[in-house]
Amino acid sequence: MQSTNQKIKNAILNSFLDKNIFEQNDEYAAKLIANTKDETMYNRILDEVQHCKSFIFAVAFIESGILNSLKTVLKDLNVQGRILTSTYLYFNKPQMFRELLKLPNVEIRVYEQNHGKFHAKGYLFQHEGYQSTLVGSSNFTAVL
């Protein structure tokens, strides 16, 4: 029987190198999330937050509606988090920054536009014994 580490290793090698050599494991395989009606980045992020020990988000843009949804989920959880966002293109409104500071158990950092462009879109989740990552073109906005 394979260890969890070996299953993860094989899933990564299967996903990115050679499907003919390395064993497939759907639980740990890389996956494209294309925001279909059946699976969206928003739902995946909420699911990860509900099951992780901690999280880190690096996103340039955050909308208040999505932030309100996150606040509701975090209110009931005891999960630690960190969010790095920005003043890039002045998309994030001052009220959104004030609301971010109200998030329980979440450290907030802001990358200021005058230090250069910040247009990251990454989500890292720490679980018991492993990490999961979502990387792509989805900010924390309604189009998640």
Strand-pair partners of 126 = 54, 131
pLDDT of 125 reads 95
Given a contact cutoff of 8 angstroms between Cβ atoms, the answer to whether 81 and 56 are in contact is yes
- 62 lies in the same domain as 6: no
Distance CA 73, CA 113 (A): 29
- 25 lies in the same domain as 8: yes
pLDDT tens-digit map of 12-61: 777 677 767 767 766 666 777 777 788 888 888 888 999 999 999 998 88
Q: Residue 143 falls within a domain, yes or no? A: no
Q: Residue 141 falls within a domain, yes or no? A: no
- 90 lies in the same domain as 115: yes
Ordered alpha helix ranges (H), 17-120: 41-51, 64-76, 94-100
- 17 lies in the same domain as 84: no
The pTM score is 0.78
- 52 lies in the same domain as 103: yes
pLDDT of 88 reads 73
pLDDT over 60 at 143, yes or no: no
Given a contact cutoff of 8 angstroms between Cβ atoms, the answer to whether 141 and 67 are in contact is no
How far, in whole angstroms, is CA 37 from its chain's centroid?
A: 19
Residues 6 or more apart whose CB falls under 8 angstroms from that of 91 comprise 60, 61
pLDDT over 80 at 138, yes or no: no
Distance CA 101, CA 53 (A): 20
pLDDT tens-digit map of 71-124: 888 878 888 999 998 887 777 788 888 888 888 888 988 887 666 677 788 999
CA 45, 50, 56, 59 dihedral sign is positive
Q: Residue 91 falls within a domain, yes or no? A: yes
- 10 lies in the same domain as 73: no
Q: Residue 144 falls within a domain, yes or no? A: no
pLDDT of 107 reads 92
Which residue matches tokens 């990454």? 122
What is the number of domains present in the chain?
2
pLDDT over 80 at 3, yes or no: no
Q: Which domain holds residue 123?
A: 34-135
Q: Residue 95 falls within a domain, yes or no? A: yes
